[in-house]
């Protein structure tokens, strides 16, 4: 049967970047009828900056998206050309996956997935304005005057809102290089009372690989045994794997940059937007870290057949002729040909403190925002928001209770809570240090934390649920066995431990307790007791989970106590219409902040900058009184 477009969509998603694609797929998989509107369908899920997915803390987000039934991890696994697990010298809590992906194949596969998704229609058009009816978002109007009605709208506009590209002292309007900006939509948001600010980001020049002498440079290969992002993927990877090369800036590079700072738009006063603190331009690096003699530059292939190299580490907006001299000052790049210049881009963002925990705007009902429009930086942060905003939009359309992951459940919960509670004045990126409960929120256990929730929501299909169920059961069965098997300090057992380089037993231990020893892995235990031989042949992911659980069990128990205290405050709900002006004991500053954020619970109120412990005590006391009054009223009704 042909798929007939509805007269009124459940959801329109504006923008088909990483947030938009994840959102449109999630909403359609939840059974909603979705229209994904974008300037150019050929640029769907484009990798506008670096050809990579994941990285420090970002890998956590990708695996959580996957555990909830999202697409980014699967797409990266299918199109990855180099996989590395970062931070392997540290504990599992901060291990983070990163993949170089083919910049041509990644968007091509994502487009195919979107095109094949039932309930999802793709439309190539500019959404010039929102349709507003009865105080809520009711659809969009395209540049052709086409009115598309919907019950909710989700904006994932990336860097397109009044986007301006800077190369040296030249500038022109664009959403990114090769795409027009979205000015009319930005103007309308301002008219509707949205608090818009300017941010800035940038990217590197792209180099013709044939013009580089890579034979002189150190190579950087991926892991010998690559780790997949998705809990469904089975490796080895499908595509040939490639290496990157490492070069460095030189004294000549730094001298050249300093001599031309007057032509850098940021230093010449041409850019007013705030840039990313943790992804500075090479100009910023040279100025801010003047004591450093050089900076690493990773030369990353953009794809198997692309022919271009992404020099990771030198984002710049210097004039093209200066970029050419700068690049040619790098070892191995003396004859480099720039196929596309680096540039900075300024764009509008909307204050995320104007959003609820489900990412719906408080300025306009039925309007949801996700991605760089909320002040974030990075594909992964955008995709995570897109997924959560889609869930929020579908639940709102259906009249269901909103869903919000809390900070103890997921990095995604930390991301959204940081944005809507604390806001951001600069491009926000995720770090493991932002998560208070990172010992529990590891990459490896994202499926154990979130797959059941994804199933409950309707995002996890039967295949994923079956795979997850087998893994979870295998882990629990094996852990039970490890906890039950007792090892006694016999001569033969201690000889076996000595052969493994481990200290002898002085008292009986369970196999699980022995597995906690530094350097001890599951396969070392198999010959120490006949009952443990049944664990031979467990899958690598299961064995890894058992080893990590053994080493982290004590830390996790302590963290569970902290989480329990955290959730006590999170469970104290605050009425959305609470009259903060009437609360005696609150300063004017605290009242204004509480009114702006409208925290959903006492825990969120406590995380608002400027809300003091004393103010929190006043609020807590008032909520306690409200609860007692409510109980008294209910008791009277019952009697």
- What is the sign, positive or negative, of the torsion defined by CA atoms of 25, 444, 453, 460? positive
Distance of CA 17 to the CA centre of its chain: 13
Q: Give the whole-number percent of the chain exceeding pLDDT 90.
A: 85
Judge contact between 385 and 416, C-beta under 8 A: yes
Element (H, E) at 350: strand 343-350
Q: Which residue has the higher pLDDT, 449 or 638?
A: 449
Burial of 541: CB neighbours in 10 Å, binned 0-12, 13-18, 19+: middle
Classify 421 as helix, strand or coil. helix
Given a cut of 80, whether residue 632 has pLDDT beyond it is: no
CATH topology of domain 573-638: DNA polymerase; domain 1 (1.10.150)
Burial of 18: CB neighbours in 10 Å, binned 0-12, 13-18, 19+: buried
pLDDT digits 0-9 by tens, 581-616: 988 888 999 999 999 999 999 999 999 988 988 888
Q: What are the residues facing 247 on neighbouring strands? A: 297
Give the model's pLDDT for residue 319: 97
Distance of alpha carbon 60 from alpha carbon 56, whole angstroms: 8
Tokens of 400: 């269901």
Enter the DSSP assignment of 420. Answer: I
Tokens of 570: 């999170």
Q: Mean pLDDT score of the chain, rounded to an integer?
A: 94
Give the model's pLDDT for residue 638: 47
Going by C-alpha positions, the residue among 391, 416, 417, 410 that lies closest to residue 402 is 391
Tokens of 29: 């998989």
Q: What are the residues facing 166 on neighbouring strands? A: 171, 344
Judge contact between 487 and 514, C-beta under 8 A: yes
Given a cut of 80, whether residue 631 has pLDDT beyond it is: no
Distance of CA 158 to the CA centre of its chain: 14
Give the model's pLDDT for residue 636: 55
Taking each continuous run of H as one helix and of E as one strand, the counts in the chain are 19, 24
* CA 503 to each of CA 1, 4, 43, 495, 516: distance values in angstroms, whole numbers, following the listed order: 68, 69, 59, 10, 13
Give the model's pLDDT for residue 519: 87
Pick the range with the lowest mean pLDDT from 72-76, 220-224, 356-360, 596-600: 596-600
Given a cut of 80, whether residue 550 has pLDDT beyond it is: yes
Going by C-alpha positions, the residue among 10, 34, 40 that lies closest to residue 22 is 34
Q: Which residue has the higher pLDDT, 276 or 299?
A: 299
Distance of alpha carbon 487 from alpha carbon 235, whole angstroms: 36
How do the domains of the chain map onto residue ranges?
8-199+346-457, 206-345, 473-568, 573-638
pLDDT digits 0-9 by tens, 376-410: 999 999 999 999 999 999 999 999 999 999 999 99
User: What's this model's pTM, rounded to 2 decimal places?
Assistant: 0.94
CATH homologous superfamily of 8-199+346-457: FAD/NAD(P)-binding domain (3.50.50.60)
Give the model's pLDDT for residue 613: 86
Q: Are strands 343-350 and 338-340 parallel, antiparallel or unpaired?
A: unpaired
Tokens of 63: 């695996």
Q: Domain 206-345: give its CATH architecture.
A: Beta Barrel (2.40)
For range 509-515, the mean pLDDT: 94
Judge contact between 404 and 358, C-beta under 8 A: yes
pLDDT digits 0-9 by tens, 425-457: 999 999 999 999 999 999 999 999 999 999 999
Burial of 347: CB neighbours in 10 Å, binned 0-12, 13-18, 19+: buried
CATH 3.50.50.60 fits domain 473-568: no
Distance of alpha carbon 607 from alpha carbon 400, whole angstroms: 26
Confidence grade of residue 556 (pLDDT, cut at 50, 70, 90): confident
Number of Cβ within a 10 Å radius of residue 133: 11
For range 613-639, the mean pLDDT: 75
**Greatest CA span in the chain, whole angstroms?**
88
What dihedral angle (degrees, nearest 10) is formed by the CA atoms of 203, 204, 209, 214? -130
Give the model's pLDDT for residue 633: 54
Give the model's pLDDT for residue 419: 97
DSSP 2-52: --PPPSEESEEEE--SHHHHHHHHHHHHTT--EEEEES-GGGTT---S-SE
Q: What are the residues facing 448 on neighbouring strands? A: none
Give the model's pLDDT for residue 452: 98
DSSP 69-132: T-SHHHHHHHHEEEEEEETTTS-GGG-EEEEEE-TTHHHHHHHHHHHHSTTEEEEES-EEEEEE
Judge contact between 377 and 428, C-beta under 8 A: yes
Burial of 243: CB neighbours in 10 Å, binned 0-12, 13-18, 19+: middle
Confidence grade of residue 362 (pLDDT, cut at 50, 70, 90): very high
């Amino acid at each position: 049967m042909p798929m007939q477009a509805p007269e009124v969509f459940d959801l329109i998603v504006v923008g088909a970047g990483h947030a938009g694609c994840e959102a449109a797929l999630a909403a359609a998989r939840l059974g909603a009828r979705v229209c994904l509107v974008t300037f150019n369908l050929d640029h769907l899920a484009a990798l506008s900056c670096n050809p990579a997915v994941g990285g420090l803390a970002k890998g956590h987000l990708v695996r959580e998206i996957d555990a909830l039934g999202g697409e980014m991890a699967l797409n990266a696994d299918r199109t990855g050309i180099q996989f590395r697990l970062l931070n392997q010298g540290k504990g599992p809590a901060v291990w983070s996956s990163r993949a170089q992906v083919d910049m041509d194949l990644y968007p091509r596969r994502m487009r195919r997935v979107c095109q094949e998704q039932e309930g999802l229609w793709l439309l190539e058009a500019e959404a010039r304005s929102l349709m507003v009816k009865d105080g809520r978002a009711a659809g969009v109007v395209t540049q052709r005057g086409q009115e598309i009605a919907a019950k909710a709208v989700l904006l994932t506009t990336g860097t397109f809102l009044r986007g301006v590209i800077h190369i040296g002292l030249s500038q022109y309007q664009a959403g990114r290089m090769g795409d027009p900006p979205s000015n009319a939509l930005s103007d309308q948001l301002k008219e509707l009372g949205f608090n818009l600010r300017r941010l800035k980001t940038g990217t590197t020049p792209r180099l013709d690989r044939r013009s580089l002498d890579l034979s002189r440079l150190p190579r950087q290969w991926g892991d010998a045994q690559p780790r997949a992002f998705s809990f469904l993927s089975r490796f080895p990877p499908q595509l040939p794997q490639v290496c990157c090369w490492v070069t460095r800036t030189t004294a000549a590079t730094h001298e050249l940059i300093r001599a031309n700072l007057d032509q850098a738009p940021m230093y010449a006063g041409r850019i007013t937007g705030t840039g990313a603190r943790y992804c500075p331009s090479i100009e910023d690096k040279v100025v801010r870290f003047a004591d450093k003699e050089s900076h690493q530059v990773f030369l990353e292939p953009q794809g198997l057949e692309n022919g271009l190299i992404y020099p990771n580490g030198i984002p710049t907006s210097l004039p093209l002729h200066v970029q050419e001299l700068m690049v040619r000052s790098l070892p191995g790049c003396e004859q480099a040909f720039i196929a596309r210049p680096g540039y900075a881009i300024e764009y509008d963002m909307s204050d995320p403190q104007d959003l609820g925990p489900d990412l719906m705007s408080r300025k306009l009902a039925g309007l949801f925002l996700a991605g760089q429009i909320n002040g974030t930086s990075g594909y992964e942060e955008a995709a995570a928001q897109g997924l959560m905003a889609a869930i929020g939009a579908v639940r709102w359309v259906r009249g269901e209770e909103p869903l919000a992951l809390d900070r103890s459940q997921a990095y995604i919960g930390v991301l959204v809570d940081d944005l809507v509670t604390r806001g951001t004045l600069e491009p926000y990126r995720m770090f493991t240090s932002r998560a208070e409960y990172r010992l529990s929120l590891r990459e490896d256990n994202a499926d154990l934390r979130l797959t059941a929730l994804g199933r409950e929501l309707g995002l996890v299909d039967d295949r994923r649920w079956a795979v997850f169920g087998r893994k979870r059961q295998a882990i629990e069965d094996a852990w039970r066995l490890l906890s039950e098997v007792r090892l006694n300090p016999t001569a033969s057992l201690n000889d076996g431990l000595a052969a493994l380089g481990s200290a002898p037993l002085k008292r009986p231990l369970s196999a699980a307790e022995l597995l906690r020893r530094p350097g001890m892995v599951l396969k070392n235990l198999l010959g120490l007791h006949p009952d443990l031989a049944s664990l031979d042949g467990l899958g690598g992911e299961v064995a890894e989970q058992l080893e990590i659980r053994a080493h982290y069990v004590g830390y996790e128990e302590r963290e569970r106590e902290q989480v329990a205290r955290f959730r006590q405050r999170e469970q104290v709900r605050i009425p959305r219409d609470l009259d903060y002006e009437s609360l005696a004991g609150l300063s004017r500053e605290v009242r204004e902040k509480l009114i702006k954020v409208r925290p959903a619970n006492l825990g969120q109120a406590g995380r608002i900058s400027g809300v003091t412990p004393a103010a929190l005590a006043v609020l807590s006391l008032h909520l306690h009184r409200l609860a007692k009054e409510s109980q008294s009223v209910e008791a009277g009704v019952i009697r």
